[in-house]
Structure 1
Amino acid sequence: MVTPYLPSSHNHRRRLPILLKIGFLLMMGENKLMGKRWEDMDTDVLVKIFKELNLVELSPVSQVCRLWRLACSDPLIWGTLDFGLLKSNFIQTRASPYIWVDDRSDRRLARILRVAMAISCGNVNCMIFHYNLFMKDEHLHFISERSPHLKRLVMPAWNRITKVGICNAIQRWQALESLTMPTIGHPPYIMEEIARSCKNFTELKIMGSFDQQFASAILQFLPKLKVLSLRCSKVSMDALQCLLNSMEYLEVLNISHCLLLVVAANGRKQVVHELDSQILERASRLREFHYCQSRLCVACQRMVVDEGIMRWYRYEDWFWRRDEVRSLDLQDYGKLFDVGCERLTSVD
């Protein structure tokens, strides 16, 4: 039995509007079901109805009866668990991990994850987290144990996650195919773990900066990578050349709105405003090559103003979710954790 994460004193208040909403959906969609007992309804119809509910609404609904519980856990509902609206209450610090998160935020996240993992029953294929959601190893361990079939992870903030924590999670996610991650100080260890544990891994997105060390790690451990997006990142030209020269299986590369840097003869880094013909020729062999460095482009202008490290919080809520590569674009926020959930999942 799932324990709702809202205070119990509110249970009776939230059940009535939820059941009224379900009744309305039944009347709108399936008149032939009127008069049936709730536990006798067709599962496929229940799934269609429950797809319109968010996590707060699903929690009590999953406790009505066994049939409703099974319908609430259907993979069609839980294919993508989008926590893109959920953020930590944090303060930046000067010492590692450079972030302090208050205990209320951690407890809130833990309770939300408990309910989501309990109802989903391991059926989550894609999980999306906000760039200002700073989870700990304990959170990551909890979800990795309960989402064994995860194929895609979007987790742009690793400040409080240790090397051991992320590697243990990757080992459990053997079906992982796609990862969106931040820049890290020593990338070889995570590339090696992905290569060892995730045999179907083909897609990687880096948010932050991309240098020769990162490119070399990909080349060494993930030589068959097919899709790479560096959108809105600070990119070393040496790293870019390494990719184009050596990644023979690479099909899609996105360097749109990147700040491209080259080391000049005097040792200083200089911004490259145009790609030379040699790089363009190599890029033309790819199935898709996305590139934009236009002074008229808003995203490119923002990269210049932010000096190559995009300050996502300054801009629209949806801006960080975009990508020119269709398979990496996050589109609109998911329904499971919508604005209503964000307001109601407070911690006492």
Structure 2
Amino acid sequence: MTVCHNSYFQESPLEFLTMEEDSEAVIRRWEDLDTDILVKIFQRFSVFELTSGLAHVCSGWRVACCDPILWKTLDLSFMKSHFIKIPLEPYVYVERRSDETLTRVLKLSMNLSRGSTTTLIFHFNLFVSDEQLTYTAERSPCLKRLVLPAWNRIKKTGICKSIRIWKDLESLTMPSIANPPYLMAEIAKNCRNFTELKIMGPFEPFFANTLISLLPGLRVLSLRCSSINYDALLAILDGLPNLEVLNISHSYVVEPARGLTHQRRVVRELDSRIMEKAARLRKFLTCMELETCVMCQRTEMDEGIVRWYKYEEGQWKADEVSSLHLC
């Protein structure tokens, strides 16, 4: 559906014709249309359309545009930054107009949502700044699920400040991070209901030990399409007593170099040691079909850091765990 800009409504009367039973045409005002009907119509609109000026058409449309049903999930997974890579931190330069568009959408969305957003989804390649993230956190204090974008422009101060606000956070999807303790510590300290984590990137013993020490109550963990250290996998199977669901589909497990070989070995089939420890889980999701599975092939080709931009749009949203699946 095409959204008419505010200028159109300023030049045209907010009226429409209906036919009564006696076949006489009756002029009605759009602002008198039932709010529930307007909300159902607006549910078909994208975030761009909802923030394009609809709320300024009339008071009735403003009320409908602020309905919590429209903003329970703020899905920005269709927005990607226009950027170029640079050699110095943050290793990307985001084009100004692209940044301004994101800021505008966030401000308008947060204004209309009035704190009702409980799920926030960023595109994997949307380079959000500290200011944009904390602005959104301050205006969505009831957030329960967060799908984070790339880390490049998000600093420790920004993410920690946001986590302190999101005390109801239950689920986080995030790229791999070089130094995870500070983030996990903030979650452990502030988010008592946190039980679900998805990591998109290599999983090493340091990260596993961080989860074990700081988030022992974790119930769902997805490491799909990643390079997983064998010792790290054993560690979480032993050290996360409340873990119920573990997804390592399309990942490959790597045994660290031992002895004098100095060579890592890719595990093509899970051994009895891992399978026995995983038997206690309610769900243990695996796929290691390198010869037949396209995603397994892509993970190995990209060495555990899948270059999602090379593949079909939206592939990064998929997950075998239904509560983490975004498509």
Return the offset for 1:121.
Answer: 1.4
Cα distance in 2 for residues equivalent to 1:166 and 1:326: 26
1:97 pairs, out of 90, 93, 97, with 90
Name the aligned partner's letter for residue 141 of structure 2: P
| Residue in 2 that maps onto 1:87 | 80
More helix by proportion, 1 or 2?
1
Q: Distance in 2 between matches of 1:156 and 1:136?
A: 10
1:169 corresponds, among 153, 162, 177, to 162
1-side partners of 2:119 and 2:29: how far apart? 34
Describe the superposition over 1:237-294 as per-residue Cα deviations: whole angstroms up to 9, x where unpaired.
1110001011110011000011211113223222111111121121121111110110
1:72 to 65, 78, 82: 65
Tell me how far 1:15 sits from its aligned partner: 8.3
In the alignment, structure 1 residue 112 sits paired with structure 2 residue 108: no
Say which of 51, 55, 74 aligns to 2:47.
Answer: 55
Cα pair distance change 1:16/1:193, threshold 3 Å: farther
Q: TM-score, normalised by structure 2?
A: 0.89
Give 1:129 shift: 0.9
Task: Tell me the percent identity.
Answer: 52
SS of 1:209's equivalent?
A: coil
* 1:168-226 C-alpha deviation (Å, 9 max, x unpaired): 00011111111111111110110010011111111100011111111111111110011
Q: Work out whether residues 9 and 57 of structure 2, in 8 Å CA contact, stay in contact via their aligned partners in 1.
A: no
Note the residue ranges of structure 1 that are not aligned, 5 or more in a row. 1-5, 28-33, 332-348
Mind listing any 5+ residue stretches in structure 2 that lack a counterpart? 20-25
Counterparts of 1:92 and 1:78 in 2: how far apart (Å)? 33
Structure with more contact order per residue of length (Cα contacts < 8 Å, sep ≥ 6): 1
Amino acid at match of 2:31: E
Aligned residue pairs, count: 313
2:272 counterpart of 1:280: no
Q: Which moved further from structure 2: 274-283 or 259-268?
A: 259-268
**Superposed CA RMSD:** 2.4
Distance 1:152 1:116 in 2: 17
SS at 1:214 equivalent: helix
Counterpart residue number, 1:190: 183
Distance of 2:56 and 2:119 partners within structure 1: 25
Whether 1:257 and 2:250 are equivalent positions in the alignment is yes
After superposition, the Cα gap between the structure-2 partners of 1:223 and 1:39, relative to the gap in structure 1 and judged at 3 Å, is same
Structure 1 residue 142: Cα displacement: 1.0
> Given the superposition, is the C-alpha separation of residues 250 and 16 from structure 1 closer, same or farther in structure 2, using an over 3 Å criterion?
farther
Say which SS state the counterpart of residue 198 (structure 2) adopts.
strand
TM-score by length of 1: 0.84
In structure 2, which of residues 223, 230, 233 is the aligned counterpart of residue 237 of structure 1?
230
Instruction: Name 1:307's counterpart in structure 2.
Output: 303
Of 218, 227, 232, which aligns to 2:211? 218
* 1:12 maps onto 2:4 in alignment: no
Structure 2 CA distance for partners of 1:15 and 1:131, relative to 1, 3 Å: farther
Note closer, same or farther for the CA distance 1:42–1:306 as it changes in structure 2 (3 Å cut): same
Give, in whole Å, the separation in 1 of the partners of 2:178 and 2:9. 46
Question: Does structure 2 retain, via aligned residues, the 8 Å contact 1:73–1:123?
Answer: no
Structure 1 residue ranges, 4+ long, deviating more than 4 angstroms after superposition = 13-17
Matched, 1:319 2:315: yes
Aligned to 2:202: 209
Determine the C-alpha separation between the residues in 1 that align with 2:77 and 2:88. Answer: 27
Alpha-carbon distance change, 214 to 14 in structure 1, aligned in 2, over 3 angstroms:
farther
Matched, 1:44 2:27: no
Q: In the alignment, what sits opposite 2:22?
A: none
